[in-house]
Amino acid sequence: MTDIDEVFTAGGPLARALPDYSPRRAQRRMATCVADAIAACRSLLVEAGTGTGKTFAYLVPALLSGRRVIISTGTRTLQDQLYSKDLPLVAAAIGRPARVALLKGRANYLCRQRLFAVTAQRALAGFEGGSLAHIERWAAVTKTGDLAEVPELTDAGSVRGAITSTRENCLGQRCAEWARCHVVAARRAANDADLVIVNHHLLLADLALKEDGFGDLLGTADAVILDEAHQLPDLVTQFFGVEASSRQVEHLLADARTELARVGGDATASTALASVDAALGQVRETLPLRAGSHSVARMAWDEVPVSLETALDVLADALEALHSALAAQGGEAALAHCATRAARLGEVLARVSHAREDEAARTIERDGRGFTLSMLPFDVAPRFRSIIDARPCAWIFTSATLSVGEDFGHFATRLGVADAETLQIDSPFDFERQGLLYLPPAMPDPSAPEYLAAVLGEALPLIEAARGGAFVLFTSHRALARAAEMIAARAEGPLPYPLLVQGTAPREQLLREFRAQGNAVLLGTASFWEGVDVKGEALRLVVIEKLPFASPEDPLVKARIAHLNAVGGNPFRDYQLPEAALALKQGVGRLIRSEEDFGVVAICDPRLVSRGYGRVLRASLPALTVTRERDEASRFLTRRAA
């Protein structure tokens, strides 16, 4: 019988299957703890530093357990990698074939009902890279309905939206295509599998019962393993929140008009549609514009004028009236569904509009054409906890960043899992030897007007010493744009290295170019602080502009701070500082991704040293050798670059 220790030994199955495999005690320790947690149905939080090999450390015990396990990832990339690469490899190595299913969100599967509706109308013109006939031919033969089989169909394309379903427009069991529905078939396959690979969005949609009508994915799971778990507190907050947008109302109106035209609706329904249209227009007119801006602007609820609240109430009432009018049209499935959507939207609007101050952060975001209302609860722990309690199985949360220092309290409290066991596994990398942490000695205060120029004054000589191969990470889009302008306008001329600026191309494309160029300089904000894995010499310098404290001007942050003050908490200690520590750890973690990597992290913000809380932040960072001398950092880079 194969056991954990045997799998991870020097002559064991993994070593025999993988020529590069080297046994790591930390990996074996994590695997043993995961196996124990699965066997005992316990909750476990594992922080596994980069290079631990945590994927194998949970896949092996999951396969050996012989139980039904759900594995959830933060990104589709990791989901695909587990399904097509890691799992088959581990299963073959340890001789434990399993029935594995990859389950994606409904937006990835063809909706047969909607395709038929589109085909009937012949309303779509100009398909990207293909034609309606092409999609129809594929639809006639596909077994899975997975749109990844039609690579011409881009993510952003309007066609994709027209032939996939949303929770709002799916007809569920009333659908004539239910028996042949690809979403239903994918979920059935998942229910029959031993190991199901999902992503957090899909899992949470299930948990938050936002995928009603498709059964409970977790119903019979013995263990749930959540990788990239540091993303969960924010994702859970989003899922337990509510959102309604002008676009949803517009889509509802368009669908209802089409259906009414098809079945021949009465005058009451037409009047109700016109009322919603008028009420929507009134909300748009009442939306205040931020000074001098026609772009996206998010407002906290306490900035919302009374006239807007009134207009939203009128819209909610009009949607309720539309619901009644559509429901009275004879019960035809598609029309009845529009009625339900109208009722739901009306309810959400009313809920956001009349929520209690201490319950949730409410915002309204204007994006030129329309608006989005959202409500995010302050405390999701009790609700998430009740979900866990209702599903007595092993819950394993793992990531490279779950703790602040050695304390898992912040993460555990936000999710209500404070009683879970914890395990912290340090990275096996030799950070002291592989990297330098450079803290510039004479930086101005981050609020000073000359601060950004001082950051570039530190960054550019280091980029020169490293001969490119650098990430410069900013905490705001404004600072990033200004820095890009300043670099372009340098008296010395343009940078002698390829300059990649976030926003000029999709993230994945920028990363591909960065890896391929080998000497590029990438300027990025939040989306490059985490989830980016550039191994090898392409990345040898990371410059961090400022400590990643969430802006207190952000309406959501502002509301959370006000709430913590109101309930007698300490917003800085309990919220802003731990969040910044986790984000900083992520940002610094971009540099050393393998035993061969080397480089310098420069954190330009002087508060890391000058303020008392800097200690908490420094305690969360890997044990890089620290220097305050730029020459030493430059020499390190020059030596390694040479």
Binding residues for ligand SF4 (CB under 6 A): 111-114, 165, 170-172, 175, 177-178, 181, 183
Task: Closer to ligand SF4 by CB, 10 or 140: give it.
Answer: 140
Min dist CB 264 to ligand SF4, Å, is: 23
Residues with Cβ < 8 Å from 479, sequence gap 6 or more?
452, 545, 546
Q: Write out the E strands in 110-235.
A: 195-199, 223-226
Dihedral sign computed on CA atoms, order 410, 415, 421, 425? negative
Residue with structure tokens 């101005």? 444
Task: Closer to ligand SF4 by CB, 172 or 370: give it.
Answer: 172
Min dist CB 184 to ligand SF4, Å, is: 6
Min dist CB 395 to ligand SF4, Å, is: 30
Work out the burial of residue 482: count CB atoms within 10 Å of its CB; fewer than 13 is exposed, 13-18 middle, 19 or more buried: middle
The first and second tokens of residue 568, run together, are 């007698």
Task: Closer to ligand SF4 by CB, 183 or 404: give it.
Answer: 183
The β-bridge partners of 501 are 523
CB-CB contact of 521 with 459 (8 Å): no
Q: Side chain identity at 488, as an amino acid letter?
A: A
Task: Closer to ligand SF4 by CB, 28 or 341: give it.
Answer: 341
Min dist CB 334 to ligand SF4, Å, is: 9
Residue 540 DSSP class: -
Min dist CB 214 to ligand SF4, Å, is: 9
Task: Closer to ligand SF4 by CB, 165 or 422: give it.
Answer: 165
The distance between the two most distant Cα atoms of the chain, rounded to a whole number of Å, is 80
Cα separation, 116 vs 245, in Å, equals 27
Task: Closer to ligand SF4 by CB, 175 or 205: give it.
Answer: 175
Task: Closer to ligand SF4 by CB, 212 or 358: give it.
Answer: 212
Min dist CB 94 to ligand SF4, Å, is: 37
CB-CB contact of 192 with 162 (8 Å): no
Task: Closer to ligand SF4 by CB, 147 or 465: give it.
Answer: 147
**Of 319, 298, 324, 76, nearest to 202 (Cα)?**
76
Min dist CB 453 to ligand SF4, Å, is: 54
Cα separation, 275 vs 293, in Å, equals 29
Cα separation, 91 vs 588, in Å, equals 33
Min dist CB 121 to ligand SF4, Å, is: 16
Min dist CB 116 to ligand SF4, Å, is: 9
Dihedral sign computed on CA atoms, order 485, 487, 492, 493? negative
Cα separation, 98 vs 454, in Å, equals 56
Task: Closer to ligand SF4 by CB, 106 or 585: give it.
Answer: 106
